[in-house]
Structure 1
Amino acid sequence: MSTELLHDNSALHEYTKAVQAKELQQLIFSQSDGSAVALPEGVKIADLEQYLETRRRFRGSMSTNLIEEFVEFVKVTVSGYDEFTGEHFPCFINPQAMRAIAFFNLGDIDQPGHGDHQAHLTLQKTEAFRELLNINGKRFDQRQLAEWLEDWIDHLKTFAEDGRTELPLAASVAAIRRITIGTNAEATSEEQTFSSRRSAMAEVEAKHKDQLPAFLKFTCEPYQGLQERTFTVRLSLITGEKPLISARIVRLETAQEDMAKELEEKLRAGFEDSEVRTFVGEFHTL
């Protein structure tokens, strides 16, 4: 094949590509109102906004752990909009994750916005509540539990098996430290909080001079901005060569549902007289 023929074939190929690109561009332009273009392979788009004196439009992301700061920022930002194409500024609340997000430029179906100007709220557990959750399901030896009670004495009250009779905290700590284990040959079957008897060759029982606590009442503010709550912790003795005491938070799921509901109510009350509308759920722009 001659050099001249090769040159002609190459020119024809490039001409065909150019015609096809032009036809494709016309098709895309007609079907996308000019908002999309066909680019040659390898072409990159460079955003020159950073070199402009001002940004093309205002957007950003605010984050906080405080309910009051979140509500105040959202209301101030909303009040700064002279005109808004949508009917409201949406705020989506995720009660399970204890967080919320507000959009300032989401727009609506007729005039959708970019949705990239936002405010985020993520509640943080307090130190006391984190510590309470850490002991849920945990097994303590005598020294560990006694020291834990002494460390968190400002948040605690101890109660007897009936759940109503309050015990002096100092006496409860002393009783836990003095737990002793004895064995007797007896065949019985009985379960108690601080006594375990089995139909076996031996009976293992906790022996103590003072009444051991069966329940703890732990009072704390669970999340910053939520009201103080009292959680009930049940203590159970696990007998053996070395006694262990397990701790379990009673109806923890119910308490978590109540806290989630409180977050919803606080945000709805905070935005009651504004253009912000709250929804339970999450929204993601695509």
Structure 2
Amino acid sequence: MSLTKEALQHIEASHKTGTEAAEGHALIVGDNFKMVDMEKYQDHRRRFRGQFRTKGLKDFITYVSGQQADAPVFIDRDAMAACSYLDIGDKSLPGHCDHSATLNLPKTPEFSAYLDADGSTLDQEEMVELVEDWGHLLEFENSKGEPLERGKVIHAFRKVSLDDLTSIESDKQEHSSRVGVMNSVTVKNAERLPTVIYWKLTTYEGLSERTLAMRVSSKTKGGPSFGLRAIALDAAKEEIAAEFAKLVTDGLPESECLLGTFQP
């Protein structure tokens, strides 16, 4: 029995439609050989997958340790972040890396305020507001190393004023003469103002409390204002990053913790 061209095309199309692939997990359908994943039609997923994201150090450690997965943890000290691909597998049997846990440790509001103040110049009103807002964290020291009370510091910033002194120096000789004018602007009662402010704070959630110093300088151009500069901030950041890495490593003793990032 011979078959017509139309019959042969119908048989070919019927054969292509519904052909199993990927060990029965998918079907090839249609003339364009479209692959259809059958997982959503099954009672369960083929494997567990998902992305856990958190800002909590303890929550990250709890989740990763609870998976009982032999997966490395990658610690990014610069970003204060950590990540683990819990189904990464190994070189002989690599996983899909679609089950992950990610930690992004947030700065505390007080540390953000410290960083915002670093390198800034504040006028009297702004300086008073800074001390009033964060005064419960601050300690003050004058140029002699003596401690200053917060209330007196606020009063000193409010009452600060400038002395504008002009002096004329005259030097007359037989064949020449020289007249010099010197202008000096100084801050009145400067000893009442702090030269160093100490911030006692927690930099990131879950880390220990530390004290960060900030230099205060008076500026006289255009009216009284104050320049703020963090002292040894780079060294402090290194210590903070080291503490973060240690907390993750100590919290996950069964995991291999590596410094760096990994892109699957």
TM-score normalized by the length of structure 1: 0.74
Match for 2:227 among 246, 249, 253?
246
Alignment of 1:61-210 (within 5 A): 61-78=51-68, 88-162=70-144, 164-186=145-167, 201-208=182-189
Residue identity matched to 1:241: G
Residue identity matched to 2:40: Q
Relative to 1, partners in 2 of residues 1:270 and 1:45: Cα closer, same or farther, differing over 3 Å?
A: same
The structure that is strand-richer by fraction is: 2
Corresponding residue number in structure 2 for 1:59: 49
CA distance in 1, matches of 2:84, 2:61: 10
Residue identity matched to 1:263: F
The yes-or-no answer on 1:260 pairing with 2:241 is: yes
> How many residues in Structure 1 have an aligned counterpart in Structure 2?
228
Residue identity matched to 1:284: Q
The answer on whether the counterparts of 2:51 and 2:99 sit within 8 Å (CA) in structure 1 is yes
Deviates more, 1:177-186 or 1:89-98: 177-186
The answer on whether the counterparts of 1:158 and 1:169 sit within 8 Å (CA) in structure 2 is yes
1:234-273 Cα shifts (integer Å, max 9, x gaps): 111111231110111111111111111001111111112x
The answer on whether the counterparts of 2:143 and 2:191 sit within 8 Å (CA) in structure 1 is no
Q: Give the share of equivalent positions with the same residue, in percent.
A: 30
Structure 2 stretches lacking a partner, 5+ long: 1-29, 170-179
Q: Which runs of 4+ in 1 moved over 4 A?
A: 40-44
Residue identity matched to 1:119: A
The yes-or-no answer on 1:48 pairing with 2:38 is: yes
Relative to 1, partners in 2 of residues 1:42 and 1:205: Cα closer, same or farther, differing over 3 Å?
A: farther
Relative to 1, partners in 2 of residues 1:209 and 1:161: Cα closer, same or farther, differing over 3 Å?
A: closer
The yes-or-no answer on 1:237 pairing with 2:218 is: yes
- SS of 2:112's partner is helix
> What is the Cα-based RMSD across aligned positions, in Å?
2.5
Deviates more, 1:89-98 or 1:151-160: 151-160
